[in-house]
Amino acid sequence: MARVKNISLGPDAQARLDELVKKAKASSASETVRNALRFYEYVVEESIAGSDFFVRKKGDKDSDLTKIKFIY
């Protein structure tokens, strides 16, 4: 059974969440937060295990990889 949690977001954070819900085409802010938590958990666990994360521009296979540093 789902448990309800209340979180406080300032106006800027609320606006960012609302925009992310739209961009992700999510059904709700709750879905977006759940997905964000899953992703963040993965990043933290993989970082602890010694993994690195990189990004490359879509469609540009010749571009350099940029290492992403996560702060947690």
Q: What is the value of pTM for the model shown?
A: 0.78
Residue-wise pLDDT for 6-21, tens only, equals: 999 999 999 999 999 9
Check if the beta carbon of residue 72 is closer than 8 Å to that of residue 47: yes
Helices (H) and strands (E) in the chain, counts: 2, 2
Q: How far apart are CA 55 and CA 68, in angstroms?
A: 7
Which of 70, 71, 68 is CA-nearest to residue 54? Answer: 68
Amino acid identity at 49:
A
Per-residue tokens: 23? 């961009």
Residue-wise pLDDT for 19-28, tens only, equals: 999 999 999 9
Is residue 64 scored above 90 in pLDDT? no
Residue-wise pLDDT for 37-63, tens only, equals: 999 999 999 999 999 999 988 877 777
